[in-house]
Amino acid sequence: MTPKAWLFLALGLFVAYYAVTWVRNVKPDPGEPGDGAAGPSPVGLIVGALVGALMGWIAGGGVKYANGVITTTSPAAGDIAMWISIITLGILGVTVPLVMRKGRVGVPSPIELVIGFVTNFFDTLGIGSFAPTTAMFKAKGIVDDRLIPGTLNVGHTPATIAQAFIFITIVDVDFTTLALLILAAVLGSWLGAGFVAGWSKQRVQMGMGVTLLVASLVFVAKNLDAMRATPFLQGGTAISLSGGLLIVALAGNFFLGALMTLGVGLYGPCLIMISLLGMNPTTAFPIMMGSCAFLMPVASERFVKKNSYALRPALGLTLAGVPAVLIAAIIVGSLQPKVVSWMVPLVAMIAALTMLRAYRLSLAAPVAAAG
């Protein structure tokens, strides 16, 4: 098998672990009838498997869009990586009806599906999904504050996995660089959790917010410099890193993986880091999405086992999120490098303002509680 196929296989095993954990530990939502013992209908399982397999075929490179032309590759002509993508998302497709039946929930409401579609669409553009989903849940009173972190992790995991398959397939990036950076993020989340556990989330939000804001301004200056006849700064066109730059990137992604345990998103910081290190900004997409795709199934486990999430809203994020990812990926994959280079500071600035706003709200919360 190719290196990409081995990476897909490893991700597929993580997905199978996530799916089994979710199905085994799902509990009926309060107020729903039944004890959750009945199994799903055969029709539901077949439909779920077929829809999931279709999504997997698209994510694995079955449908591509470039220069206004859509091309398709049949599964029979596809490589092993495509088949792993088909099987993996097929597993997720079966998981959804199993969870819905065992959890005794109906189809998510229209607003829950809209939130899933909108947040995952913009997540695929690199903006991140956790902050906007949280804001929408709070605005509509859909999920209790206590259950929001678990709902985000459980519900957004399938869409993040689809993102990883898509961008690892369509974006040209050195495999060694990709695999090492994903591994660094995973190790950061596992080994670095204890390291950052004692940190104040408020200080992290403030520090990362200010850092991203400064970095976005630096990148704007870099883009303006590139428009000159003789640029002073070197443009970011590399698809790999080596030597000191690779070490810096590994340390950075390890740190970002650790910060995810505090709820600090990885997308914006990773995107700006990869770009400032001289890589083509587009290569950040498989790196950051691959990192999160390996992290989130494990992160979701504790929420599922403790039943610390809202099931129906989580299903809304899943059911509408995966199609949104496939649509948004076509847009990102067809963007010109110059457009992507201007997306980077925009995404970083949005992430910075989101973190600074969260910091401000966290300071105001104790005051409001005291009042």
pLDDT of residue 84: 93
Residue 69 bridge partners (DSSP):
66
Greater pLDDT, 259 or 247: 247
pLDDT of residue 194: 65
Answer for the pair 140, 31: CB distance below 8 angstroms, yes or no.
no
Query: pLDDT tens digit string along 270-313?
Result: 888 888 888 888 888 899 899 989 988 877 887 888 888 899 99
Percent pLDDT > 70 in the chain is: 81
Answer for the pair 77, 2: CB distance below 8 angstroms, yes or no.
no
Q: Is 236's pLDDT higher than 50?
A: yes
The pair of structure tokens assigned to 228 is 């000159």
pLDDT of residue 335: 59
pLDDT of residue 336: 60
CA dist 177 and 270 (Å) reads 14
Cα–Cα nearest to 2, from 242, 239, 178, 186: 178
Q: Is 232's pLDDT higher than 60?
A: no
Q: Where are the alpha helices (DSSP H) in 260-310?
A: 267-276, 284-305
Answer for the pair 120, 44: CB distance below 8 angstroms, yes or no.
no
Kindly state the average pLDDT of the residues 59-64: 84
Residue tagged 């500071």 (tokens): 345
Kindly state the average pLDDT of the residues 22-36: 68
Kindly state the average pLDDT of the residues 48-70: 84
CA dist 33 and 210 (Å) reads 49
CA dist 177 and 246 (Å) reads 8
Query: pLDDT tens digit string along 307-335?
Result: 888 999 999 999 999 999 988 887 776 65
Q: Is 337's pLDDT higher than 70?
A: no
Q: Is 233's pLDDT higher than 60?
A: no
pLDDT of residue 248: 93
Q: Is 90's pLDDT higher than 90?
A: yes
Greater pLDDT, 200 or 303: 303
pTM, two decimals, is 0.80
Burial annotation 116-137 (CB, 10 A radius, 16+ → b, else e): bbbbbbbbbbbbbbbbbbbebb
pLDDT of residue 179: 93
Query: pLDDT tens digit string along 112-152?
Result: 999 999 889 888 877 777 778 877 887 788 888 778 888 88
Kindly state the average pLDDT of the residues 156-176: 90
* Confidence band of 370 (pLDDT split at 50, 70, 90): very low
Average pLDDT, the chain: 81
pLDDT of residue 170: 83
Helix (H) or strand (E) holding 148: helix 148-170
CA distances from 29 to 24, 33, 100, 157, 304 (A): 15, 9, 10, 20, 13
pLDDT of residue 149: 80
pLDDT of residue 263: 63
Among the residue ranges 73-77, 128-132, 240-244, 317-321, the one predicted with the least confidence is: 128-132
- Cα-to-chain-centroid distance, residue 329: 13
Greater pLDDT, 145 or 253: 253
The pair of structure tokens assigned to 86 is 């088909």
Q: Is 32's pLDDT higher than 70?
A: no
